[in-house]
């Protein structure tokens, strides 16, 4: 058992992340070469402007994935938050109260799901499927039509932006909407939590093995419930950002978005088996989906081509992850 | 042992699972400061349950646990840790996806006043701690990068570092090499000097006599006694563990083959000519005759299990030919093997052998049903009879045929698996580590069964890491190294020394 040589080993999620980033850059270059006006700061920044809500929700979902679970209720929670915000605002409830209430609903829904999963030892898939139906159902119960939002605060958040000028040329100019800063805060908080807090590390331990985690004296119940709480909280926050983005609430919006969030996380190197993953990877994963969408738009293709491409990518990534895992397994102990 | 020296006292602990299974009845146990105390018993004696009660994994039904004269009642692992009881389990219970250092410190990470984890300190502390254990590995690498032995050492480092007064080691040595075991013992002695009380559970009696001060024996959930190690002869210890007068045991343990002259050469059952399988065996030659017990010796990964898997059609044959009774045979799947009269009890009883949620009779008929095909269903009556027959023949300890196999002890599970294959009426039986993790009494019984079967003309391939039992059972021994056959020993040539010499790389005799 000597020091393990000097050869550096790239760990699974790192190598996935590296591939993801390289792929993103390649796609960006591809677009830049192929289309006029593609290569610009605004193309890049619009990835965040257009996908901030999805990134926030996907960051939340990553917490659950790391813990070894899955949350498929997030898209419904986003829609629910959107509709009920619009509904309450229409009736004159102050904006800050609406936002507070929505976030609270998110936390309660999430923690309830987590508690059901933990204490009754239920499958996360089924519990969050029930959550998905419940939230989606409630959306339509609240309103079948699309409700416009005219609240001044929401409008400020929706339309307010910061101009970014990195140079004289048009290509070096872009803009960031205010709500993107919410994403930045969520991202920073998530990175810190996962890396530097006891809770974050417990989450990884839980994903690595629940029995082990509890035998090491970690608080499994609290960690697991909090993971689902955070996921739904992020979904609710994503829902609010989504209503900033669209200035309307409609119950049938974002159907299937939970799968976009989960696939982004996987593309970003998170393992569905738990224990491995980063929020940075997830954000890059969403950016990849965004850039595919952009290219598809430039090419004037049917937007479903986005899905086709992502399907191929997803397949590629899970196979790559598996191969790396198998190779790691084989070389295990050989170079001790 | 003065009273003031007492660290942990357990009095009249009882624990039952449901109404039928009484795991602990009125058990007592005491541990002194600066003592290594062996907790021994056969499978099902209640060792594990006692440990689970002490560590808060299970709650006791009755009884008192005292630590330093103060009554405690741990309800979770966390609470037990806070009371100063930490545990290392047989199967490494750490997280493979975290770094070595983090595995040692998770849950009690050094943090600054904002609650931010100090990674530098974690890594430095881990390095320092493992240095004490003479383990110089890169602590920032993931745990699953290292072998099970290293992982086990890390687990022990973690447990000993958790401000522990009592350290419980539940079969920590089963995956360690002898050099590693020595290292572990050094550490245990050092911790003993520092005043820690260590509870040591193991199946290896040598280790008990090497390192422990006292022994407590449990049997069938009951307390048998506590003894000073140096005052308790080994045979008496075994007798207390299995609860028989040891004359019977001696006979079972000393069962030997009749003299060479009484045995005669039988016909060849299976013959491999230059067989290779991708990634495992290469150019393998093998002949197995009826009525012999052929042993495969070699270190883990030498090709012992791999060859058995090829013979059972699990791993594909890419080159060479197989003849069963002088006729070409195609072993493309286990079903082909079964139809050719081959049976195989795999190494990993829990995952490859038993189906825990099924009853004993269901487990027994599995292979036979496969052999007959789905259109010849074995009737319930026939299955029951079959199960009863084997429960009696192999002396499987169970309340009845309906018992779920997961509720049996390891040794009895192994007997059920054996029954499953004997029911197919095989001519060639392959056993991969059939006695691993099984108590001494059952071990001897299984060895005897093996010899009986061969005596009645069955060809047996026996794979085991324990040279002792190989010496006892095998009539011929093939030594493997690096997926190749490196030596063969017959009858009287078989000795521990000869096997070791070939395994280590000496000339084949």
**pLDDT tens profile A297-324:** 898 888 888 889 889 988 988 888 788 7
Q: Which of residues 154-173 of B touch A (CB under 8 A)?
A: 158
**Taking 80 as the threshold, does the pLDDT of residue B225 lie above it?**
yes
Q: Is residue B112 part of a domain?
A: no
Q: Is residue B441 part of a domain?
A: yes
- Of A193-197, A225-229, B36-40, B402-406, the poorest mean pLDDT is in B402-406
- Pairwise CB contact (< 8 Å): B109 & A208: no
Which residues of chain A does B146 touch, with a Cβ-Cβ cutoff of 8 Å? Answer: 1, 332-333, 336
Tell me what pLDDT residue B27 has. 93
Q: Nearest 5°: phi and psi at B40?
A: -125, 160
- Rg of chain B over all Cα atoms, to the nearest angstrom: 25
**Taking 60 as the threshold, does the pLDDT of residue A11 lie above it?**
no
Question: Is there a single domain that holds both residue B80 and residue B169?
Answer: yes
Q: What is the ipTM of this complex?
A: 0.85
Distance CA B172, CA B160 (A): 13
User: B137 at the A interface (CB within 8 A)?
Assistant: yes
Q: Is residue B227 part of a domain?
A: yes
Q: Which of B448, B491, B26 is nearest to B295 (CA)?
A: B491
- Pairwise CB contact (< 8 Å): B135 & A1: yes
Distance CA B488, CA B286 (A): 11
Distance CA B166, CA B193 (A): 13
Tell me what pLDDT residue A334 has. 45
Q: Is residue B252 part of a domain?
A: no
Distance CA A151, CA A249 (A): 13
Q: Which of B334, B354, B352, B332 is nearest to B342 (CA)?
A: B334
**Taking 60 as the threshold, does the pLDDT of residue B199 lie above it?**
yes
**Taking 90 as the threshold, does the pLDDT of residue B374 lie above it?**
no
Q: Is residue B316 part of a domain?
A: yes
**Taking 70 as the threshold, does the pLDDT of residue A14 lie above it?**
no
pTM over cut 0.80? no
pLDDT tier, A156 (very low <50, low <70, confident <90, very high otherwise): very high
What domain range is B389 assigned to?
A: 348-425
**Taking 70 as the threshold, does the pLDDT of residue A231 lie above it?**
yes
What average pLDDT does range B312-327 have in this prediction? 88
- Pairwise CB contact (< 8 Å): A198 & B136: no
**Taking 70 as the threshold, does the pLDDT of residue A8 lie above it?**
no
Distance CA A94, CA B345 (A): 71
**Taking 60 as the threshold, does the pLDDT of residue B366 lie above it?**
yes
What average pLDDT does range A214-237 have in this prediction? 94
Question: Is there a single domain that holds both residue B37 and residue B171?
Answer: yes
Tell me what pLDDT residue A102 has. 96
CA A140 from centroid of its chain's CA atoms = 24
**Taking 60 as the threshold, does the pLDDT of residue B427 lie above it?**
yes
Question: Is there a single domain that holds both residue B467 and residue B436?
Answer: yes
Determine the residue among B48, B79, B95 to mutate to test chain A binding: the one whose Cβ has the most chain A Cβ atoms within 10 Å: B95
**Taking 90 as the threshold, does the pLDDT of residue B400 lie above it?**
no
Number of domains in chain B: 3
pLDDT tier, B278 (very low <50, low <70, confident <90, very high otherwise): confident
Bigger pLDDT: B260 or A43?
A43
Which residues of chain A does B142 touch, with a Cβ-Cβ cutoff of 8 Å? Answer: 11
Question: Is there a single domain that holds both residue B174 and residue B80?
Answer: yes
Domain A38-288 sits in CATH at 1.10.3470
pLDDT tier, B44 (very low <50, low <70, confident <90, very high otherwise): low
Tell me what pLDDT residue B189 has. 92
**In this structure, what DSSP letter does residue A146 have?**
P
Distance from CA of A214 to the nearest CA of B (A): 7
Q: Do A212 and A223 meet the contact criterion of CB atoms below 8 Å apart?
A: no
Q: Which residue of A has its CA nearest to B180?
A: A1
Question: Is there a single domain that holds both residue B64 and residue B198?
Answer: yes
In 10 A of CB B108, how many CB atoms? 16
**Taking 90 as the threshold, does the pLDDT of residue B487 lie above it?**
no
Tell me what pLDDT residue A9 has. 41
Tell me what pLDDT residue B250 has. 54
pLDDT tier, A58 (very low <50, low <70, confident <90, very high otherwise): very high
Question: Is there a single domain that holds both residue B433 and residue B501?
Answer: yes
Question: Is there a single domain that holds both residue B212 and residue B77?
Answer: yes
Distance CA B402, CA B270 (A): 37
Q: Which residue of A has its CA nearest to B97?
A: A208
Question: Is there a single domain that holds both residue B76 and residue B180?
Answer: yes
Q: Which range, A222-226, A288-292, B502-506, is most confident?
A: A222-226
Last residue of a domain, one of B425, B440, B457: B425
Q: Do B438 and B450 meet the contact criterion of CB atoms below 8 Å apart?
A: no
Distance CA A42, CA A40 (A): 5
Q: Is residue B505 part of a domain?
A: yes
What average pLDDT does range A207-236 have in this prediction? 94
- Pairwise CB contact (< 8 Å): A201 & B102: yes
What average pLDDT does range B148-154 have in this prediction? 84
Tell me what pLDDT residue A52 has. 96
In 10 A of CB A147, how many CB atoms? 20
Question: Is there a single domain that holds both residue B504 and residue B387?
Answer: no
What average pLDDT does range B16-35 have in this prediction? 84
Question: Is there a single domain that holds both residue B333 and residue B219?
Answer: no
Q: Do B95 and B143 meet the contact criterion of CB atoms below 8 Å apart?
A: yes
User: B106 at the A interface (CB within 8 A)?
Assistant: yes
CATH code: domain of residue B219 = 3.40.50.300
What average pLDDT does range B137-162 have in this prediction? 87
- Of B41-50, B74-83, B205-214, B451-460, the poorest mean pLDDT is in B41-50
Dump pLDDT digits (tens) for B172-186: 876 677 777 888 898
- Of A4-8, A178-182, B104-108, the poorest mean pLDDT is in A4-8
Tell me what pLDDT residue B45 has. 80
Distance CA B364, CA B429 (A): 16
- Pairwise CB contact (< 8 Å): B107 & A276: no
Helix (H) or strand (E) holding B229: none
Distance CA A42, CA A163 (A): 10
**Taking 50 as the threshold, does the pLDDT of residue B1 lie above it?**
no
Distance CA A268, CA A261 (A): 11
Tokens of B434: 């059939």
- Of A4-18, A238-252, B85-99, B471-485, the poorest mean pLDDT is in A4-18
Question: Is there a single domain that holds both residue B77 and residue B32?
Answer: yes
């Amino acid at each position: 058992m000597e020091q393990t040589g000097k050869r550096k080993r790239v760990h699974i999620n790192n190598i996935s992340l590296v591939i993801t980033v390289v792929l993103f850059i390649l796609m960006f270059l591809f677009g830049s070469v192929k289309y006029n006006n593609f290569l610009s700061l605004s193309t890049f920044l619009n990835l965040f402007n257009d996908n901030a809500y999805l990134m926030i929700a996907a960051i939340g979902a990553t917490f659950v994935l790391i813990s070894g679970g899955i949350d498929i209720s997030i898209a419904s929670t986003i829609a629910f938050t959107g509709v009920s915000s619009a509904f309450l605002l229409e009736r004159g409830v102050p904006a800050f109260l609406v936002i507070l209430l929505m976030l609270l609903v998110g936390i309660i829904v999430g923690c309830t799901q987590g508690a059901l999963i933990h204490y009754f030892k239920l499958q996360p898939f089924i519990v969050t499927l029930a959550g998905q139906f419940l939230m989606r159902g409630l959306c339509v119960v609240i309103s079948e039509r699309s409700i416009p939002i005219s609240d001044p605060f929401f409008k400020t958040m929706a339309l307010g932006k910061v101009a970014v000028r990195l140079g004289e040329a048009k290509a070096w100019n872009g803009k960031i909407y205010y709500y993107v800063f919410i994403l930045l805060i969520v991202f920073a908080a998530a990175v810190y939590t996962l890396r530097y807090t006891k809770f974050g590390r417990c989450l990884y331990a839980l994903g690595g093995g629940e029995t082990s985690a509890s035998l090491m004296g970690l608080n499994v119940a609290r960690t697991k419930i909090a993971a689902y709480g955070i996921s739904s909280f992020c979904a609710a926050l994503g829902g609010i950002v989504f209503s900033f983005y669209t200035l309307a609430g409609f119950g049938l919006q974002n159907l299937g978005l939970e799968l976009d969030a989960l696939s982004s996380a996987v593309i970003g190197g998170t393992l569905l088996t738990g224990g491995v993953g980063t929020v940075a990877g997830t954000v890059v994963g969403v950016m990849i989906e965004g850039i595919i969408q952009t290219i598809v738009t430039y090419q004037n293709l049917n937007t479903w081509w986005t899905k086709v491409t992502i399907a191929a990518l997803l397949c590629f990534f899970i196979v790559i992850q598996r191969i790396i895992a198998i190779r790691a397994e084989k070389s295990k102990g050989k170079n001790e | 042992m003065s009273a003031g020296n007492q660290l942990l006292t357990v009095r009249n602990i009882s624990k039952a699972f449901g109404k039928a299974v009484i795991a602990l009845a009125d058990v007592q146990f005491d541990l002194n400061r600066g003592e290594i105390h062996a907790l021994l018993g056969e499978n099902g004696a209640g060792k594990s349950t006692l440990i689970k009660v002490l560590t808060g994994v299970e709650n006791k039904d009755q009884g008192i646990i005292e630590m330093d004269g103060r009554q405690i009642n741990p309800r979770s692992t966390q609470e037990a840790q806070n009371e100063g009881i930490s545990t290392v389990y047989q199967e490494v219970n750490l997280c493979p996806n975290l770094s070595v250092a983090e595995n040692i410190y998770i849950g009690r990470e050094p943090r600054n006043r904002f609650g931010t984890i100090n990674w530098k300190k974690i890594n430095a502390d881990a390095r320092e701690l493992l240095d004490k254990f003479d383990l110089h590995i890169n602590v920032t690498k993931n745990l699953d990068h290292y072998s099970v032995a290293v992982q086990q050492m890390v687990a022990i480092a973690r447990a000993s570092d958790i401000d522990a007064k009592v350290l419980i080691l539940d079969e920590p040595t089963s995956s360690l090499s002898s050099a590693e075991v020595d290292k572990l013992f050094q550490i245990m002695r050092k911790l003993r000097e520092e005043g820690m009380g260590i509870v040591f559970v193991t199946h290896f009696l040598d280790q008990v006599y090497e390192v422990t001060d006292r022994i407590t024996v449990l049997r069938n959930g009951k307390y048998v006694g506590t003894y000073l190690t140096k005052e308790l002869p080994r045979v008496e210890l075994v007798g207390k563990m299995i609860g028989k007068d040891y004359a019977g045991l001696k006979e079972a343990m000393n069962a030997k083959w009749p003299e060479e002259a009484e045995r005669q050469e039988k016909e060849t059952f299976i013959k491999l000519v230059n067989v290779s399988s991708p990634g495992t065996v290469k150019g393998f030659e093998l002949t197995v005759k009826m009525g012999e017990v052929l042993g495969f010796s070699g270190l883990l990964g030498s090709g012992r299990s791999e060859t058995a898997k090829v013979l059972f059609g699990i791993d594909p044959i890419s080159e060479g030919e197989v003849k069963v009774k002088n006729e070409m045979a195609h072993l493309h799947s286990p079903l082909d093997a079964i139809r050719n009269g081959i049976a195989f009890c795999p190494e990993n009883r829990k995952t490859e052998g038993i189906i825990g949620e099924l009853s004993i009779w269901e487990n027994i008929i599995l292979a036979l049903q496969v052999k007959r095909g789905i259109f010849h269903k074995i009737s319930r009556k026939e299955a029951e009879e079959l199960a009863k027959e084997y429960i009696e023949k192999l002396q499987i300890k169970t309340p009845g045929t309906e018992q779920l196999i997961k509720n049996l002890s390891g040794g009895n599970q192994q007997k059920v698996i054996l029954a499953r294959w004997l029911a197919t009426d095989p001519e060639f039986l392959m056993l991969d580590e059939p006695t691993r993790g099984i108590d001494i009494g059952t071990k001897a019984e299984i060895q005897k069964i093996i010899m009986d079967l061969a005596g009645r003309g069955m060809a047996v391939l026996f794979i085991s890491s324990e040279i002792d039992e190989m010496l006892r059972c095998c009539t011929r021994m093939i030594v493997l190294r690096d997926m190749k056959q490196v030596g063969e020993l017959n009858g009287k040539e078989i000795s521990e020394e000869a096997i070791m010499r070939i395994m280590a790389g000496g000339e084949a005799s």
